[in-house]
Structure 1
Amino acid sequence: MTASMKTMEFPMVLLRLADWFLYHFLAISCYRAAMKLKNHAYFFLKNPSNIKSSHHFSLYPNVSKCNLYGRKSQTLVCDIHGCLLRSQSFFPYFMLVAFEGGSIFRALLLLLSCPLLWVLDYELKMRVMIFITFCGLRLKDMDSVSRAVLPKFYLENLNLDAYEVLESAGSKVVFTSVPRVMVEGFLKEYLSVDSVIGTELHSAGQYFTGLVSNSGLVVKHRALKEFFGEKRPDIGIGSSSLHDHLLMSLCKEAYLINKSSIMPREKYPKPLIFHDGRLAFLPTPFATLSMFMWLPVGIFLAVFRLFVGIFLPYKLAILLGVATGVNIRLKGAAPQKSQNGKGVLYVCTHRTLLDPVFLSTSLGKPLTAVTYSLSKMSEILAPIKTVRLTRDRKQDARTMQRLLREGDLVVCPEGTTCREPYLLRFSSLFAELADEIVPVAVNTAVTMFYGTTASGLKCLDPVFFLMNPRPSYSVEILGKVPRELTCAGGKSSFEVANYIQRQLAGALGFECTSFTRRDKYLMLAGNEGIVQEKRR
């Protein structure tokens, strides 16, 4: 490099630094000052007698003032962060990706970065969270989290007012500095957004590097100009932040989101039936810190509760379980012994792998449970007898008939667990095998960890459930199904299964669906949920 070239390079560097300084400090400061002056000037002219008032006038009307009718031919633009979602911080969603897609150590590292994140500006904060969350993360793990974990938390934090305006528009475009891979699936599948322009991440092979692509973080108003060109969108909605104001200034109409309105479940754009992941709470920094502080105690409690359930008598197990925080509620009583010499068939709703165990403990007598894909570890630790079915209808029928001749039997005809207030379609096989059927409405409640998984280690399901501070199990034993409503009374097995499904749904306040085990696993894990036995 010649001396003349070196002398030319130094001034160019100075010019770039000056340009950066002018934009980030002078331009933004002047814009804020102009907006404040305009707001105060307008307010003073409208209210000359209240010059000393401290009230603030907004440049844009509230989103509640937006007319929702006749918008189907119009285009709306907004951001998911600070607009569609009620929470002002996107940290919890990065934590979900770090914990569910990465590991507990990645989640801990992200939590430890919080003091640093608090002192950084928005752009640096976003880059640091992206690096910690995505460095070395597999692309398929991110895809799984975006499909099975994040939608639940997004739906629970949707802003009702913002959603109603979004739904009224015919064309919807979202501009966000959040990584596109974290939000695109939810926005397109649940909110029918046409295009999502978000920050692109760099990847190497099947892994993220943790770096942002060459295009950098998305600047919303610049991305809007590039996307629409000279055309102006019809509607823009956003928060009171500077970047949202710049975005809304490029729209024909603009409305401000300045309050959070909760989205009720009945107004969800799509029913939330299936979701995965271990965390049962939104992992804000404080909530995540509380979880890590609880973990040593939770692990000890889970081991102790497992020991109590496996080795101690029923009454003592219930006493010690309740003493350690397990809430067990039993309603109803066991039916009288069958007159035909066969055992009673208990038909349960399926919330966790522990359903038959809690039923057996609540009744104070041993039961046999039939299972499909139960891990070897769960079979070893189970305090009751478990028998694995083969999914061959004739062979499974013979197995269940034999077990009924030996004693009482528990079956969960949904075939898999469901966390939400829905019941999956009941298999009708059980209805063909017994005349004395007792429906059992089982429900659970957790505050920290879910005790079920579709893509994780199933052998840890009971451990995670028992790690909760106060896990709750509700068991309601309904009366025997009248003989005239069974197959012995002339009903088909499908009619019996559907009747019992409706009866249990009514007792729990749940909704019946036609979804099956296969539907759940195809959606959450990309497989049919069948554990392949190893051939020797």
Structure 2
Amino acid sequence: MEFEKVENCSSVEREKHTVVANLEGTLTRAKSLFPYFMLMATEGGSIVRAVALMLVTPLAWLLHHFFSEQAAIRLLIFVSLAGLKVRDIEGVARAVLPRFFAEDIHPQSWRVFSACCRKRCVVTLSPRIMVEYFCKNHLGADIVLGTEIQVTKGGRATGLLLSPGVLVGTSKRLAVKAEFDDEEAPDVGIGGRASDHAFLQLCKEAYMVTEGNKVEAVPMGELFKPVIFHDGRFVRRPTPKVALLTLLWFPIGMLLSILRVFICVNAPLKMVPTMYKLLGMKLVVRGNVSRSLKRDGRGMLFVCCHRTCLDPVFLSVALGEEVSAVTYSVSRLTEIISPIPTVRLTRDRVKDAETIKQLLQVGHLVICPEGTTCREPILLRFSALFAELTDEIVPVAVLPKMSMFYGNTVRGFKAFDPFFFLMNPRPVYEITFLEQLPIELTHSAGRSAFEVANHAQRIVGETLGFECTNFTRRDKYLILTQGDGSVKHYK
């Protein structure tokens, strides 16, 4: 049966219409589920599970093309999910998958789907638990119909499926029919593969997506809600080719990372830039570094955005002089491998202020007033504590660049963050020293601590081209760990 192309579907005056759309290859441009299963296997499981998934992928391909699409999906689900805790699956579905889904939304399907406001239904052959959060929070779906997985009484996925199995073909049709049993037939149906014809026949109007990856994805800001914060270690979408290269590089990168840490921690500070070059690392320094050094025996306070826990280390190397760093949380492993003094704060404002003053009396100090690392092109709200303690403030813009692995995480083991950054083949750190805040813009000149902090945030943001927000550390962790999805502070 032939259906019209979705490009021919009008999106005008659809406010009172219902819509049913397939997810893979319809709302998203790509039909392949492999990247999402690889993300789930890695972030919810381990590198061992990721390797296992990579090994069975050729078999899944053969099953899909020569035997049964359902059998291929069952195999991928079993390898990716079997034994995982449901809360871990949900955590990855909230914090990791949405970014990759949001970067792949088909413009024509989204144009029609978003225009139908009465009821939006997404049908998918993926496990519902993997996609429901994204579809409801970022696409504005009211209902998500997907493959249901078995869960033990202990809250772990068995890797097996509940009846009717993979939601594809006839089973997808029956699910849509049951959802709209007490209503009129859906006004609009959108599919992207031959197996979608079964449910499209139930709709008053039916359309197919044919262009797929040939069109540009919808800008993330045009979605029902933008994906702001995200987690996970993969920088790039783990397609089969990217995943294979990443897994082959992983043991090499791990050894290289340990070597980089060992040599740079033990080398004299003046020799570290040379070591960086020899070890494939690049440090880019901008601004007038000499003006940033202490005067009259006083230590300077360097205020920088927080991209990874290595920010103070690279800043120290860029200065060519040792600085101390203060942080709210630091692992024992990070303390051991850190080549600069690291002091833990207590979150007691009075005690922390006294600690910072004492450190400034003996040398330079770096502080990251965002309170936590942030990988997005935004700045979290700067804490104003530093502005009350000194007038010798130098804002610093830092920007690490990674090609394979992110050097920060929320759900993972933060102690491994430095190693993951240094596992990238050629990691880059850009350090830009800005002009010291003029005395008339400091706390002692009558400016409030919040004015000083907001000014420092603004000039760092302008330097990096980042947007300054009112998001706090708490907002970030709430969104990534509890799935609140709130964007109330976002401008």
TM-score, scaled to structure 2: 0.93
- Kept after mapping to 1: 8 A contact 2:310/2:418: yes
Which residue does the alignment assign to 2:76?
Answer: 129
Aligned to 2:134: 186
Q: Which deviates the most, 82-91 or 245-254?
A: 245-254
CA shift, 1:89, in A, is 0.5
Q: Does 1:114 align with 2:57?
A: yes
Separation of aligned partners in 2, 1:268 and 1:439? 34
How many matched pairs? 469
Question: 1:133 & 1:435 partners in 2: Cα distance?
Answer: 54
The reply on whether 1:148 has 2:95 as its aligned counterpart is: yes
Per-residue deviation, residues 89-148 of structure 1 (Å, max 9, x unmatched) = 001101111110011111111110012111112110011111111111111110110111
Shift of 1:161: 2.1
Tell me how far 1:162 sits from its aligned partner. 1.6
C-alpha deviation, 1:248, in angstroms: 2.1
Aligned with 2:411 (options 437, 449, 455): 455
Gap change, CA 1:182 and 1:371, over 3 Å in 2: same
Q: Deviations over 1:393-431 (max 9, x none)?
A: 011000001111111110000000111101001000000
CA distance in 1, matches of 2:132, 2:150: 16
Cα deviation code 1:264-320 (max 9, x no counterpart): 244343333311111222111221111121112101210111122211123432222
Do the aligned residues in 2 keep the contact of 1:357 with 1:383 (CA within 8 Å)? yes
Pair 1:292-2:247 in alignment? yes
Corresponding residue for 1:195? Answer: 143
More displaced, 263-272 or 368-377? Answer: 263-272
| C-alpha distance 231-265 of structure 1, shift in aligned 2 (>3 A) | closer
User: Hey, what does 1:499 align to over in structure 2?
Assistant: 455
Query: Amino acid of the residue matched to residue 52 of structure 2?
Result: L
The residue type paired with residue 471 of structure 1 is P
Match of 1:317 in 2: 272
Q: Which residue of 2 aligns with 1:483?
A: 439
Flag the structure with larger Rg: 1
Classify 1:337/1:99 alpha carbon distance in 2 versus 1 (closer, same or farther; 3 Å): closer
- Indicate conservation of the 8 Å contact 1:76/1:234, yes or no: yes
Q: Does 1:217 align with 2:171?
A: no
> 1:212-239, CA deviations, whole angstroms, 9 ceiling, x for partnerless residues?
0133222222222222137211111122
Q: How does 1:29-428 map to 2 (within 5 A)?
A: 35=1, 59-120=2-63, 121-170=68-117, 171-205=119-153, 206-218=155-167, 219-229=171-181, 231-239=184-192, 241-259=193-211, 260-334=215-289, 335=291, 337-339=293-295, 341-428=297-384
Separation (CA, whole Å) in 1 of partners of 2:429 and 2:223: 27
Whole-angstrom distance in 2 between the partners of 1:208 and 1:265: 32
Letter in 1 for 2:19: L
* Partners of 2:300 and 2:173 in 1: CA distance: 67
Aligned counterparts of 2:346 and 2:173: Cα–Cα separation in 1: 58
Alpha-carbon distance in 1 for matches of 2:265, 2:160: 49
Look up the equivalent residue of 1:127 and give its one-letter code: R
**Take 2:387 and 2:377, find their aligned partners in 1: how far apart are those partners?**
24
SS of the equivalent of 1:525 reads: helix
Provide the residue aligned with 1:432 in structure 2: 388
- 1:516 is aligned, of 456, 472, 491, to 472
Residue type of the alignment partner of 1:310: V
Whether the 8 Å CA contact 1:135–1:208 is kept in 2: the answer is yes
Residue 106 of structure 2 aligns to which amino acid in structure 1? N
The structural deviation recorded for 1:70 is: 1.1
* Cα distance, 1:369–1:105 mapped onto 2, change above 3 Å: same
Q: Distance in 1 between matches of 2:482 and 2:384?
A: 26
Change (3 A) 1:336 1:74: closer
Task: From the superposition, tell whether residues 327 and 270 of structure 1 become closer, same or farther in structure 2 (CA, over 3 Å).
Answer: farther
Q: CA deviation at 1:323?
A: 2.9
Contact 2:137–2:224 at 8 Å: present in 1 too?
Answer: no
Q: Distance in 2 between matches of 1:417 and 1:140?
A: 24
1:176–1:513 Cα change, 3 Å:
same
Superposed displacement of residue 243, structure 1: 1.7
Alpha-carbon spacing, 1:435–1:340, altered in 2? closer, same or farther (3 Å): farther
**SS of the counterpart of 1:113?**
helix
**Bigger relative contact order, structure 1 or 2 (CA pairs below 8 A, ≥6 apart):** 2
CA apart distance, 1:526: 4.6
Structure 2 gap ranges (5+)? 484-491
| Percent identical residues | 48
Shift of 1:327: 2.2
**Pairing 1:467–2:423 present:** yes
Root mean square deviation of aligned Cα? 1.5
AA aligned to 1:215 is P
- TM-score normalised by the chain length of structure 1: 0.85
The SS at the match of 2:77 is helix
Rounded to whole Å, the distance in 2 between the matches of 1:476 and 1:82 is 43
Q: What residue is the counterpart of 1:530 in the other structure? A: none
| TM-fit CA distance, 1:339 | 4.4
In the alignment, residue 151 of structure 1 is paired with which amino acid? P
Instruction: Report if the CA contact (8 A) 2:138-2:226 is conserved.
Output: no
